[in-house]
Amino acid sequence: MSVVETVARLPLLPHERAWLERIFEAMLPAETAGLPTFDASRHADLCRTLEEATGATFLPGLRVMLHALAVLPLGYAGYRRTFFALPVDGRRAFLAELAREPGYLPRQLVAALKILACFAYFESPFVRANFDLRPVTRAPMGRP
């Protein structure tokens, strides 16, 4: 691996992993809809997968997104604190506000973190058990 790639692939720091977890909970507060919550025991595994299986530009991009989201609310009336210093309602409201932004970058930031949150949420078999995933038929057509 080249030096550039080694640097690009430096694992997430503990606080970055914790941030990610808090973003996921704000992005998809499942308990508010009577659904099971994120399975926190899978979080480390998720982060490892993101660190190992993604392209070499992914982690630097994720880092930029995490740090940008951390400070963005400072510039918004009604928030004026870092994202992670906001109360849980404030974090949810801020993400919703960012998602409505006409600008490309804020929208993309929310969209990218939303996909990660969805991946993380549906890793749990307990969560998946809430959906009827049976194939539409159990009688296969014969092979030619």
Partner 1 sequence: MSALVHLDGREVRATLRMSAEVVVVGSGPAGAAVARRLARDGVRVVVLEEGHHVEPQDFESTGLRAMASLYRDMGTSIAFGNSPMPYLQGRAVGGTSVVNGAICWNFPKPVHDAWAQADRALGEALPFEAITRAETELEARLGVHPTEEHVAGQKNLLMARGADALGVEHRPIRRNTAGCLGSGRCLQGCPHGAKLSMDLTLLPDAVRDGAQLVSGVTVTHVLSDARGAYGVRGRSAAGAQVEVRATRAVVLAASAIQTPVLLRQSGISQGPVGDGLMAHPGVSVTGRFDTVVRNFVGATQGHEVTGFRPEGLKLEALGFDLSILTSRLPGVGLELARRVAELDQYAVYGAAIRAEGTGKVRPGPLGPLVRYDLTEEDVRKARRGVRRLGEVLLAAGATEVYPGIPGFDSVVRDPRRMAAIDDEGSLDPKAYTMSMTHLFGTARMGSDRAHCVVGPDFQHHHVDRLYVADSSVFPSNLGVNPQLPIMALAHLCAERILA
Return residues touching partner 1 (CB under 8 A): 2, 4-5, 8, 26-35, 46, 49-50, 52-58, 92-93, 95-96, 99, 102, 104, 107, 110-111, 114-115, 118-123, 128, 131-144
Least distance CB 40 / partner 1 (angstroms) = 16
Closer Cβ to partner 1, 33 or 77, answer by number: 33
The helix (H) or strand (E) run that includes residue 74 is none
Question: CA–CA separation, 67 vs 62, rounded Å?
Answer: 9
The helix/strand/coil state of 124 is: coil
Cα separation, 121 vs 138, whole angstroms: 28
Task: Look at the block and give the residue holding tokens 């991009």.
Answer: 61
The least distance separating partner 1 from the CB of residue 82, rounded to whole angstroms, comes to 18
| Least distance to partner 1, CB of residue 21, Å | 15
